[in-house]
Chain A
Amino acid sequence: GIQVEQSPPDLILQEGANSTLRCNFSDSVNNLQWFHQNPWGQLINLFYIPSGTKQNGRLSATTVATERYSLLYISSSQTTDSGVYFCAVSSNTGKLIFGQGTTLQVKP
Protein backbone atom coordinates (compact mmCIF):
# COMPACT_ATOMS: atom_id res chain seq x y z
CA GLY A 1 0.00 0.00 0.00
CA ILE A 2 0.86 3.67 -0.18
CA GLN A 3 3.37 4.90 2.40
CA VAL A 4 3.14 8.44 3.77
CA GLU A 5 6.03 10.11 5.56
CA GLN A 6 5.84 13.49 7.25
CA SER A 7 8.67 15.66 8.43
CA PRO A 8 9.69 16.98 10.82
CA PRO A 9 7.97 14.87 13.51
CA ASP A 10 8.15 17.72 16.01
CA LEU A 11 8.54 21.46 15.59
CA ILE A 12 8.81 24.25 18.14
CA LEU A 13 8.42 27.83 16.95
CA GLN A 14 8.34 31.26 18.45
CA GLU A 15 5.16 33.19 17.73
CA GLY A 16 5.50 35.08 14.46
CA ALA A 17 7.89 32.61 12.83
CA ASN A 18 7.28 30.83 9.53
CA SER A 19 7.48 27.09 8.95
CA THR A 20 7.28 24.43 6.25
CA LEU A 21 5.90 20.94 6.82
CA ARG A 22 6.59 18.20 4.29
CA CYS A 23 4.65 15.11 3.20
CA ASN A 24 6.20 12.45 0.94
CA PHE A 25 4.12 9.64 -0.52
CA SER A 26 5.19 6.48 -2.29
CA ASP A 27 2.70 6.15 -5.17
CA SER A 28 0.34 8.10 -7.39
CA VAL A 29 -2.62 9.58 -5.56
CA ASN A 30 -5.85 11.27 -6.57
CA ASN A 31 -6.59 12.76 -3.16
CA LEU A 32 -4.32 14.57 -0.73
CA GLN A 33 -5.59 16.39 2.33
CA TRP A 34 -3.93 18.38 5.08
CA PHE A 35 -5.57 18.41 8.51
CA HIS A 36 -4.96 20.19 11.79
CA GLN A 37 -5.88 18.18 14.88
CA ASN A 38 -6.60 20.41 17.84
CA PRO A 39 -5.97 19.41 21.48
CA TRP A 40 -9.54 18.09 21.76
CA GLY A 41 -9.02 15.67 18.87
CA GLN A 42 -11.06 17.48 16.22
CA LEU A 43 -9.62 17.09 12.72
CA ILE A 44 -9.99 20.34 10.85
CA ASN A 45 -9.73 20.33 7.06
CA LEU A 46 -7.02 22.71 5.88
CA PHE A 47 -6.60 21.82 2.23
CA TYR A 48 -7.83 19.35 -0.35
CA ILE A 49 -4.88 19.51 -2.74
CA PRO A 50 -4.09 16.52 -4.97
CA SER A 51 -2.05 18.88 -7.14
CA GLY A 52 -1.18 22.56 -7.49
CA THR A 53 -1.08 25.38 -4.98
CA LYS A 54 -3.73 26.83 -2.69
CA GLN A 55 -3.72 29.58 -0.10
CA ASN A 56 -6.02 30.29 2.81
CA GLY A 57 -4.98 33.24 4.95
CA ARG A 58 -1.65 32.52 6.64
CA LEU A 59 -1.62 28.96 5.36
CA SER A 60 -0.73 27.72 1.90
CA ALA A 61 -0.02 24.33 0.40
CA THR A 62 1.67 22.99 -2.71
CA THR A 63 1.51 19.45 -4.07
CA VAL A 64 3.88 18.28 -6.80
CA ALA A 65 2.16 15.07 -7.77
CA THR A 66 4.81 13.98 -10.28
CA GLU A 67 7.47 14.13 -7.55
CA ARG A 68 5.17 12.70 -4.87
CA TYR A 69 5.37 15.33 -2.21
CA SER A 70 3.33 18.12 -0.67
CA LEU A 71 4.33 21.11 1.45
CA LEU A 72 2.29 23.04 4.00
CA TYR A 73 3.46 26.57 4.74
CA ILE A 74 2.49 28.39 7.92
CA SER A 75 3.41 32.05 8.05
CA SER A 76 3.38 34.39 11.06
CA SER A 77 2.55 31.49 13.36
CA GLN A 78 0.23 32.00 16.34
CA THR A 79 -0.18 29.99 19.54
CA THR A 80 -3.53 28.75 18.22
CA ASP A 81 -1.65 27.01 15.39
CA SER A 82 -0.32 24.52 17.92
CA GLY A 83 -1.43 20.92 17.47
CA VAL A 84 -0.75 18.01 15.17
CA TYR A 85 -0.74 18.42 11.40
CA PHE A 86 -1.60 15.35 9.35
CA CYS A 87 -1.17 14.68 5.68
CA ALA A 88 -3.41 11.96 4.23
CA VAL A 89 -3.58 10.51 0.74
CA SER A 90 -5.70 8.06 -1.20
CA SER A 91 -5.57 6.44 -4.61
CA ASN A 92 -8.49 4.99 -6.55
CA THR A 93 -9.75 3.03 -3.54
CA GLY A 94 -10.76 6.18 -1.68
CA LYS A 95 -9.13 4.92 1.52
CA LEU A 96 -7.27 7.73 3.25
CA ILE A 97 -3.79 6.74 4.45
CA PHE A 98 -2.46 9.06 7.14
CA GLY A 99 1.09 10.06 7.87
CA GLN A 100 2.50 10.03 11.40
CA GLY A 101 1.89 13.74 11.77
CA THR A 102 3.96 16.78 12.71
CA THR A 103 3.44 18.07 16.25
CA LEU A 104 3.75 21.85 16.26
CA GLN A 105 4.16 23.93 19.38
CA VAL A 106 4.08 27.71 19.00
CA LYS A 107 5.40 29.56 22.03
CA PRO A 108 4.27 33.09 22.92
Chain B
Amino acid sequence: ETGVTQTPRHLVMGMTNKKSLKCEQHLGHNAMYWYKQSAKKPLELMFVYSLEERVENNSVPSRFSPECPNSSHLFLHLHTLQPEDSALYLCASSPLGTGVNEQFFGPGTRLTVL
Protein backbone atom coordinates (compact mmCIF):
# COMPACT_ATOMS: atom_id res chain seq x y z
CA GLU B 1 0.00 0.00 0.00
CA THR B 2 2.96 2.32 0.34
CA GLY B 3 3.35 2.61 -3.48
CA VAL B 4 0.13 4.55 -4.09
CA THR B 5 -1.75 6.03 -1.14
CA GLN B 6 -5.18 7.61 -1.00
CA THR B 7 -6.93 9.70 1.63
CA PRO B 8 -9.45 9.60 3.05
CA ARG B 9 -10.31 5.91 2.86
CA HIS B 10 -13.98 6.59 3.61
CA LEU B 11 -16.02 9.76 3.05
CA VAL B 12 -19.65 10.60 3.68
CA MET B 13 -20.86 13.93 2.34
CA GLY B 14 -24.06 15.78 1.66
CA MET B 15 -25.03 17.03 -1.76
CA THR B 16 -24.11 20.61 -0.91
CA ASN B 17 -20.69 19.84 0.56
CA LYS B 18 -17.30 20.42 -1.04
CA LYS B 19 -14.60 17.85 -0.41
CA SER B 20 -11.35 16.66 -2.00
CA LEU B 21 -9.80 13.26 -2.50
CA LYS B 22 -6.03 12.98 -2.41
CA CYS B 23 -3.70 10.53 -4.11
CA GLU B 24 0.07 10.28 -3.73
CA GLN B 25 2.44 7.94 -5.52
CA HIS B 26 5.94 7.03 -4.37
CA LEU B 27 6.94 5.01 -7.44
CA GLY B 28 8.58 7.71 -9.54
CA HIS B 29 5.84 7.44 -12.18
CA ASN B 30 4.79 10.33 -14.40
CA ALA B 31 1.24 9.37 -15.32
CA MET B 32 -1.68 9.32 -12.88
CA TYR B 33 -5.31 8.25 -13.26
CA TRP B 34 -8.68 8.52 -11.54
CA TYR B 35 -11.15 5.62 -11.88
CA LYS B 36 -14.69 5.21 -10.58
CA GLN B 37 -16.12 1.84 -9.59
CA SER B 38 -19.83 1.73 -8.90
CA ALA B 39 -21.37 -1.24 -7.12
CA LYS B 40 -21.08 -4.53 -9.02
CA LYS B 41 -19.45 -2.81 -12.01
CA PRO B 42 -15.95 -2.74 -13.50
CA LEU B 43 -13.71 0.29 -13.21
CA GLU B 44 -14.43 3.27 -15.44
CA LEU B 45 -11.63 5.68 -16.34
CA MET B 46 -12.37 9.29 -15.38
CA PHE B 47 -9.19 11.31 -15.93
CA VAL B 48 -5.61 10.79 -17.10
CA TYR B 49 -2.68 13.06 -16.31
CA SER B 50 0.59 12.68 -18.16
CA LEU B 51 3.54 14.79 -17.00
CA GLU B 52 1.07 16.86 -14.98
CA GLU B 53 -1.09 17.69 -18.01
CA ARG B 54 -4.60 16.35 -18.35
CA VAL B 55 -4.69 14.19 -21.47
CA GLU B 56 -8.02 12.46 -20.97
CA ASN B 57 -11.40 13.55 -19.64
CA ASN B 58 -13.77 10.67 -20.12
CA SER B 59 -17.02 12.70 -20.31
CA VAL B 60 -17.01 13.30 -16.59
CA PRO B 61 -19.50 15.85 -15.15
CA SER B 62 -18.03 19.18 -14.09
CA ARG B 63 -18.93 18.53 -10.44
CA PHE B 64 -15.73 16.43 -10.47
CA SER B 65 -12.64 18.61 -10.86
CA PRO B 66 -9.16 17.03 -10.98
CA GLU B 67 -5.90 18.73 -10.10
CA CYS B 68 -2.34 17.50 -10.60
CA PRO B 69 0.12 19.95 -9.00
CA ASN B 70 3.15 17.69 -9.58
CA SER B 71 3.90 14.18 -10.81
CA SER B 72 3.49 12.65 -7.34
CA HIS B 73 0.15 14.13 -6.33
CA LEU B 74 -3.35 14.00 -7.76
CA PHE B 75 -6.53 15.46 -6.33
CA LEU B 76 -10.19 15.08 -7.14
CA HIS B 77 -12.28 18.04 -5.97
CA LEU B 78 -15.94 17.26 -5.40
CA HIS B 79 -18.88 19.67 -5.19
CA THR B 80 -22.64 19.45 -5.54
CA LEU B 81 -22.53 15.69 -5.92
CA GLN B 82 -25.54 13.44 -6.42
CA PRO B 83 -26.39 10.20 -4.60
CA GLU B 84 -25.56 8.25 -7.79
CA ASP B 85 -21.97 9.47 -7.45
CA SER B 86 -21.56 7.16 -4.46
CA ALA B 87 -18.84 4.72 -5.47
CA LEU B 88 -15.28 3.56 -4.88
CA TYR B 89 -12.82 6.05 -6.36
CA LEU B 90 -9.45 4.58 -7.25
CA CYS B 91 -6.24 6.34 -8.15
CA ALA B 92 -3.49 4.71 -10.20
CA SER B 93 -0.06 5.59 -11.54
CA SER B 94 2.21 4.23 -14.25
CA PRO B 95 5.53 5.02 -15.88
CA LEU B 96 5.68 6.60 -19.32
CA GLY B 97 8.16 6.09 -22.12
CA THR B 98 9.66 2.88 -20.76
CA GLY B 99 7.66 0.50 -22.93
CA VAL B 100 6.13 -1.04 -19.80
CA ASN B 101 3.07 0.97 -18.77
CA GLU B 102 1.89 -1.22 -15.91
CA GLN B 103 -0.58 0.61 -13.69
CA PHE B 104 -0.52 0.38 -9.90
CA PHE B 105 -3.56 1.25 -7.82
CA GLY B 106 -4.16 2.84 -4.46
CA PRO B 107 -6.55 1.38 -1.88
CA GLY B 108 -9.41 3.65 -2.95
CA THR B 109 -11.78 6.11 -1.27
CA ARG B 110 -15.26 4.76 -0.62
CA LEU B 111 -17.58 7.75 -1.10
CA THR B 112 -21.18 7.95 0.06
CA VAL B 113 -23.30 10.93 -1.00
CA LEU B 114 -26.40 11.49 1.10
Contact = CB atoms under 8 A, between A and B. Distances in A.
B103 interface: yes
6 contacts: A35-B105, A45-B104, A86-B43, A88-B43, A94-B101, A98-B43
Q: Is the interface of B mostly helix, strand, loop or mixed?
A: strand
Interface of A: 30-31, 33, 35, 40-43, 45, 48, 86, 88, 90, 94-101
Most chain B CB neighbours (cut-off 10 Å) among A41, A48, A101: A41
A17 to B, nearest CB: 25
Contacts of B44: 98
A101 B108 contact: no
Contacts of B50: 94
A98 B105 CA distance: 14
Nearest to B88: A41
B110 to A, nearest CB: 7
B107 A95 contact: no
Interface residues of B, number: 26
A35 B1 CA distance: 15
A94 B96 CA distance: 9
A95 B59 CA distance: 14
B113 to A, nearest CB: 17
B36 to A, nearest CB: 11
B56 interface: yes
Contacts of B100: 48
A86 B45 contact: no
